[in-house]
A = this chain, B = another copy of it.
C-alpha cells in the first residue's frame, strides 16, 4: 500500500493508493500556518495517518510515501520553493522520525505528469508531456517511460521566453510563457482588455462573478461578446506558441493540458489549441504531430502520481 501527498501553496492533499492505482481514501485540508519546519512536516504525518486509518492500514507497513512539492527537491530535501518557507527542509528525515517508511520527494508538476501518464491522458505512450495552467505554467515530461527529473526541478517550462522583451516575469526575465498562459496571465490579459474596452460584456460578467477570474474571458465569449472572443483567441495563441515549442523540442506522442483553465469550453480552448499546435509543431512536417488533449485526472493526478512514483524512476 502507498500514500501520495500533494503539497500545494494553499492545500495539502493525501491519498491512500493501491499498487494498481486505486484511490482508497483521501484527505485534504488547507495548509495551517507554521513557524517551524517540524510543524509543517507534522501536518504531513497527520495526513498520512488519517488516510491510513480510514482503511485500517498501519502506516508503518506502507511501501513508501510519495510527496509532490511545489519547488525543487533533491535527496529527500526541499532545495527551492517560492510558495512556502520550506527551503532546505529535510522532509524525509523529519517524516521518518514519526513514520519510518521510505519517503520519495518529487516536484509537484512531475507528480501530476506521472499520474496522468500511468492512469490518465498519457496511458499507452512512452513519451508524454503535460502542462498545467494555474498560478504559473508547470510542466512534466515522461521520456521513454521514465520521469525526466533532472536535478529535481526540470520542467520549468513556464519560464520559457516566447516574446523576447515582453511582459515582465517574477523570475527576472521578460516574456515568459507563463506571464501570458497561466491563469494569472489570463487574468492580466482580461484586465487589459477590460481597460481598453469599457463597453465589453467582460465588465458585467466579472461583476456578476465577484471579480475577474480565469473563467471571465471564456464565460463572456460564450455570450458572443466580440472583445471576449478576440481575447480568448489571443490567449490560445500564446498558449499554442509555447506548447508547439515544447512539442518541437521534445516530440512527445501526447501533450496533455491540465489545471483549472483547461476546463474552459472545448470549442474556445482545447479545440483551437490542438489545431494550432498540431499544425505548427515541427513533427507536422513528417506527418506525426503530437496529439494535444485535456488532462483526465483533475486534482487527483498529483496524489496518484506521488503514490506511484517508483514505477517511473
Interface residues in A204-255 by Cβ distance below 8 A to B read: 237-238, 241, 244-246, 248-252
A110 to chain B, nearest CB (A): 12
Answer whether A283 and B153 are a contact pair too, CB < 8 Å, given A143-B148, A249-B139, A249-B246.
Answer: yes
Please name all residues of chain B whose beta carbon is closer than 8 Å to the beta carbon of A157 when the two chains form the complex: 248-249
A172 at the interface (CB under 8 A from B): yes
| Closest chain B residue to A87, Cβ basis | B286
Pair A154/B286 contact, Cβ less than 8 Å: no
Please name all residues of chain B whose beta carbon is closer than 8 Å to the beta carbon of A127 when the two chains form the complex: 150-151
A290 to chain B, nearest CB (A): 10
Pair B244/A173 contact, Cβ less than 8 Å: yes
**8 more CB-based (< 8 A) A-B contacts, given A159-B282, A160-B160, A160-B249:** A143-B148, A156-B282, A159-B245, A159-B248, A161-B162, A171-B285, A245-B245, A246-B249
A197 to chain B, nearest CB (A): 21
Q: Size of chain A's interface in residues, with CB distance under 8 A? A: 44
Pair B164/A286 contact, Cβ less than 8 Å: no
| Closest chain B residue to A173, Cβ basis | B280
Pair B80/A286 contact, Cβ less than 8 Å: yes
Q: Once bound together, how far apart are the Cα atoms of A160 and B247, in whole Å?
A: 9
Q: Name the prevailing secondary structure of the A interface residues.
A: mixed
Of the residues B153, B162, B237, B251, contact of A150 by C-beta under 8 Å: B251
| Closest chain B residue to A172, Cβ basis | B280
Q: Once bound together, how far apart are the Cα atoms of A257 and B284, in whole Å?
A: 27
Pair A288/B251 contact, Cβ less than 8 Å: no
> Top 10 closest A-B pairs, CB basis?
A150-B251, A156-B282, A80-B286, A160-B245, A156-B248, A159-B248, A154-B251, A127-B150, A163-B164, A159-B282
Q: Once bound together, how far apart are the Cα atoms of A173 and B282, in whole Å?
A: 10
A112 at the interface (CB under 8 A from B): no
Please name all residues of chain B whose beta carbon is closer than 8 Å to the beta carbon of A241 when the two chains form the complex: 161, 164
Interface residues in A58-99 by Cβ distance below 8 A to B read: 72, 79-80, 82
| Closest chain B residue to A171, Cβ basis | B282
